[in-house]
Chain A
Amino acid sequence: MALARRGGIGRYYNVNGWLFVAPALGLIALFMVYPILWSLWMSFQSGRGMMLKFAGFSNIVRLWNDPVFIKALTNTLTYFVVQVPIMILLALILASLLNNPKLVGRGFFRTAIFLPCVTSLVAYSVLFKGMFAHDGVVNATLEAIGIIGEPIPWLTHPFWAKVLVILAITWRWTGYNMIFYLAAMQNIDKSIYEVARIDGVPAWARFTHITIPLLKPVILFTTVISTIGTIQLFDEVYNLTEGKGGPSNATLTLSLYIYNLTFRFMPNFGYAATVSYVIVVLVALLACLQFFAARERDR
């Protein structure tokens, strides 16, 4: 009797469990898993356009000898190493400043800083290109203040072009991450801060010793999401550099290279698929590393 009942519950439990998740699983299987396996199969082929032939591992060999691929890989990793920490730290600092209930106008500030991420991509790249033009408003302002003597070649110098891309992504996504932290901070017991303040713990130490450890799960989550976004970076670079990743490939990312291999260059879908698998592997590795690092520090 007891067994039968348990079996009944188990079946009920299982049938309902599968029913609830089935639509999502079905859609993801059909529109993500199936095409990505198809891509895997393509990555072992090579050729022009649709004239693909089986090529074994020759695409992987080609990766090593392809200076443009190496360049795109280095650029992508540079963006990741420089941009993700800056953005996460900035978002954390802003969140903890805006978390202060005594701050006048914090609703306004919060909304203002979040706003960039609702803009359309095409719109914002048009804006940024205009603002950072040679005689654009940014250079003009910096010159007027006296920070620079000569206009900065934002889009024409390899170094500054990278800086501009980093500025653009940071502008667009810092507020988005900040909202996650602000939300998480609502859960931290205010009295912890009070006690720390009375004990004379300075603001910076409160930030590093209380806020950051307590927010660790959220920080981990946003870091992984930002990592995925940055390693797959495409939209911003595509729109800011007219699809070229210039100057001298300085802003070229892996995703943009895939796009070029598929649409701008002589189409080689096999090789493009191989490069896209580099991204998959890279993101998987980095995400694992981040989870691992987070767990290590727990001990």
Chain B
Amino acid sequence: MNTTFTRIAATTFTYGFVGLMAFLSIFPFVWMLLGATNSSIDIIKGKMMPGGALATNISAFFTQVNAPLIFWNSAKIAILATVLTLAVSSLAGYGFEMFRSRHRDRIYSALLLTMMIPFAALMIPLFIMMGKAGLINTHLAVVLPTIGSAFIVFYFRQTTKAFPSELRDAAKVDGLKEWQIFLFIYVPVMRSTYAAAFIIVFMTAWNNYLWPLIVLQSNEQKTITLVISSLASAYYPDYGVVMVGTILATLPTLAVFFFMQRQFVQGMLGSVK
């Protein structure tokens, strides 16, 4: 009797708590969707009902913003950054774990220390470097400094610990070179690790704000995050349009997440073994 009661109380608590947290997490998204259907004034007033301004807001967004170009810019930067980061970091993670040596272990520890450097401290020097290289206002300048990421190297090294060494030994016996082992065995076996890293890096690159803001100069090069920020900071911002922009800006990251969700959880699993 007592135990049933406790169990019911516990179950109620669990669903209540988890449900509340899920509600709080999703609520801003709902608010964003509602916002896109309302006029700017209604949004400022905090109206919580769907309105009739959706079509107006959408058409206003597409007249004010060269959406195809801006999304293409964002996608190009995010995909390029993600692919390169994954390639470089997984190589390094593999290298640090498979070829352990005293020197490399020391360098690895030093590498982890670079995670502590705040970006604000790098901005001015990085900008001067990009200027000297003639890369200002190019997408390459946005991507380059983000490729070498201590955090992703760390993540790949952690997951590599779970890579079955028998596979590597067998491949060696078959006469495969180290790069062949990496490319034809490690990469396919670790695909869920790549998926998890893909989500994390893509999200960061897609949402990146401060650095693209500094190096990109012209309307033709801007990303969606920069466009939303400039829409939202007008003397008299049209919040309906801003909401449409935020929804469109969130869709790709949501899509990537839903598309790769299963592998993502598996990939995270590898990192904490």
Which residues does A use to contact B, with CB under 8 Å? Answer: 13-14, 16-21, 23-28, 30-36, 38-39, 42, 90, 93-94, 97-98, 100, 103, 108-109, 111-124, 126-128, 130-131, 133, 135-137, 140, 171, 174-175, 179-180, 182-184, 186-187, 203, 217-218, 221, 225, 228, 231-232, 234-235, 254-255, 258-259, 262, 269, 272-273, 276-277, 279-280, 283-284, 287
Contacts and interface: CB of A to CB of B under 8 A. Distances in A.
B176 interface: no
Nearest 4 Cβ contacts at the A-B interface: A20-B95, A17-B99, A27-B148, A276-B121
Interface stretch (B57-65, B163-171, B245-253): B245-253
B232 interface: yes
Chain B residues touching A, range: 35 or more
A280 B91 contact: no
B25 A183 contact: no
A218 B28 contact: no
A16 B99 CA distance: 8
A15 to B, nearest CB: 9
B31 A94 contact: no
Contacts of B210: 234-235
A273 B95 contact: no
Interface in B175-192: 178, 182
Interface of B is mostly: helix
Given A179-B265, A235-B209, A28 B121 contact: no
Interface string B181-205: 0100000000000000000000100
Contacts of B46: 130-131, 133, 135-137, 140
B26 to A, nearest CB: 5
B173 interface: no
B35 to A, nearest CB: 7
Contacts of A38: 125
A128 B272 CA distance: 33
Residue of A116, A126, A231 ringed by the most chain B CB atoms within 10 A: A126
Interface string B100-112: 0100100100010
A279 B206 contact: no
Given A14-B101, A120-B250, A135-B46, A280 B120 contact: no
B88 interface: yes
A28 B148 contact: yes
A225 B153 CA distance: 14
A35 B229 CA distance: 28
A9 to B, nearest CB: 11
